[in-house]
Chain A
Amino acid sequence: MSTVFPQWEVFVRARRGLDHQHAGSVHAPDGETALRAARDLFTRRQEGVSLWVVPSNEIVASDPADVGALFEPAADKAYRFPTSYELPPEVDHM
């Protein structure tokens, strides 16, 4: 039987000042190796200045079935947006 390595999610910081963004995943026996694999896979053209790898099974994700319960309550709260306040044109840039 062949050896199966655990999966790691890869996050790349494109340049200083930006957040790490999810780029994809790699398989590797440990974090160090996962970093090296991520370097080879996602930053061959200097796409980043920093890498994070996180064991995929450590990520706790929200359930797609819960989308309504989680996010819809924000829909009827238009007053959280600046556009719901009508102001005279002279100060509307506020």
Chain B
Amino acid sequence: MNQAHFDALIEADERIEPDDWMPDDYRNALVRQIAQHAHSEIIGMQPEGEWITRAPSLRRKAILTAKVQDEAGHGLYLYGAAESLGTPRSELLDRLHTKTQKYSSIFNYPTPEWADIGAIGWLVDGAAIMNQVPLCRCSYGPYGRAMVRICKEESFHQRQGYQIMLSLSQGTPEQQAMAQRALDRWWWPSIMMFGPPDSDSPNTGRSMAWGIKRFTNDELRQNFVDATVPQAELLGLTPPDNALVWNAERGHYDFGEPDWDEFARMVRGEGEIPDVRIGVRRAAHDEGDWVRKAAAAYAGKRDARSAA
């Protein structure tokens, strides 16, 4: 009965809401997906946050601060959506801090130059938008609604990044070279943000049937390449892929095969950066404990006073 009702709702492309009965597998898959998404938003604050003090002008500092603040907000929208499935936020954060849940490995690449901030906004937020727009129609209501809020805010992220790339590519030869280096660094990692190829993505079918995924990894990847190549051309920059060519017959760009071994290494969390990211995150949490204690003590004191 419950299962039949759930199946009928999914079949009709209706939304599932928190009070509805849902299969355990659906609930668990969603908690994992939304939590991982939330973790990615807040860990993603770090590579960009490192550049706030070094951004080249007061305007760029203000913009970057606003973007990092947005990403914190995105994390909070998503933790809220995950909590509506019955797992408390404290538990989700524990899973991040103990590495039992992952975040997107795109945030484990270094950002050695200012142009990386441009490339992140343009490519990483661009890829995120490609992923997130279809999720506004996710079958789970609270997740879809969080995505609507997030997507509204992402456009500014991508545009400010592209504008950084535009200024650099119209600048001195050194600035142009820096912009090209950033594209070289971020092109393939961005392409791999869409996950493994469909042939190697065992959960895709189930996720599509449940409406918690709307397009396959390879479909989204193709959309991203098609949208991004002309943007690179406009900047006078060249993506680091010799196989990249317009295929008039398909009406799409053909492109080369990403280094899936590197992808696997990144997903496994190899290298030093994952420990840095989790270390910074844990320190922020632990060092903030006195603030939470003080706030709780203050609230307790006020309660006691109003009870007296």
Our verdict on whether A and B bind, yes or no, reads yes
Binding site for B on A (CB under 8 A): 13, 16-19, 50, 77, 79-82, 84-88, 90-91, 94
Please give, as numbers and ranges, the residues of chain B lying within 8 Å of A84 by CB-CB distance.
Answer: 156
User: Is B155 a contact of A79 with CB atoms below 8 Å?
Assistant: no
User: Is A87 a contact of B166 with CB atoms below 8 Å?
Assistant: yes
Within the complex, the shortest CB–CB distance from A73 to chain B, in Å, comes to 12
Partner of B15 from A17, A87, A90 at Cβ < 8 Å: A17
User: Is B17 a contact of A91 with CB atoms below 8 Å?
Assistant: no
Complex interface: stretch among B59-67, B91-99, B300-308: B59-67
A50 to B63, CA, bound (A): 40
Size class of the B contact interface (CB-based, 8 Å): 20 to 34
User: Is A81 a contact of B156 with CB atoms below 8 Å?
Assistant: yes
Complex interface: stretch among B42-50, B157-165, B245-253, B255-263: B157-165
Interface SS of B by simple majority: helix
A17 to B230, CA, bound (A): 36
- Asked if B287 is at the interface (CB within 8 A of a chain A CB), the reply is no
Within the complex, the shortest CB–CB distance from B269 to chain A, in Å, comes to 32
Q: A17-B15, A79-B62, A88-B234 are in contact. List 9 more A-B contacts (CB 8 A).
A: A50-B17, A80-B156, A82-B156, A85-B162, A87-B163, A88-B166, A94-B155, A94-B159, A94-B231
A74 to B257, CA, bound (A): 45
* Most chain B beta carbons < 10 A, residue from A17, A18, A86, A91: A17
* Cβ contacts B62-80/A at 8 Å (1 or 0 each): 1100100010000000000
Within 8 A of A (CB), among B221-247: 230-231, 234
Partner of B231 from A16, A79, A81, A91 at Cβ < 8 Å: A91
- Asked if B282 is at the interface (CB within 8 A of a chain A CB), the reply is no
- Asked if B141 is at the interface (CB within 8 A of a chain A CB), the reply is yes
Partner of B234 from A81, A82, A86, A90 at Cβ < 8 Å: A90
Please give, as numbers and ranges, the residues of chain A lying within 8 Å of B162 by CB-CB distance.
Answer: 85, 87, 91, 94
A67 to B160, CA, bound (A): 30
Q: 7 closest Cβ contacts across the A-B interface?
A: A17-B15, A85-B159, A16-B15, A82-B155, A82-B156, A79-B63, A85-B163
Partner of A79 from B145, B160, B166 at Cβ < 8 Å: B160
A69 to B77, CA, bound (A): 24
Partner of B66 from A13, A79, A88, A90 at Cβ < 8 Å: A79
Within the complex, the shortest CB–CB distance from B245 to chain A, in Å, comes to 20
A-B contact list, 30 entries, CB within 8 Å: A16-B15, A16-B17, A17-B15, A17-B144, A17-B145, A50-B17, A77-B62, A77-B66, A79-B62, A79-B63, A79-B160, A80-B70, A80-B156, A81-B156, A82-B156, A84-B156, A85-B156, A85-B162, A85-B163, A87-B159, A87-B162, A87-B163, A90-B230, A90-B234, A91-B162, A91-B230, A91-B234, A94-B126, A94-B158, A94-B159
Within 8 A of A (CB), among B1-19: 9, 14-17, 19
A80 to B234, CA, bound (A): 24
Please give, as numbers and ranges, the residues of chain B lying within 8 Å of A91 by CB-CB distance.
Answer: 162, 230-231, 234
Within the complex, the shortest CB–CB distance from B229 to chain A, in Å, comes to 12
User: Is B234 a contact of A13 with CB atoms below 8 Å?
Assistant: no
CB closest residue in chain A, given B18: A50
User: Is A16 a contact of B141 with CB atoms below 8 Å?
Assistant: yes
Within the complex, the shortest CB–CB distance from B167 to chain A, in Å, comes to 11
CB closest residue in chain B, given A88: B234
A80 to B69, CA, bound (A): 10
Please give, as numbers and ranges, the residues of chain A lying within 8 Å of B160 by CB-CB distance.
Answer: 79, 85
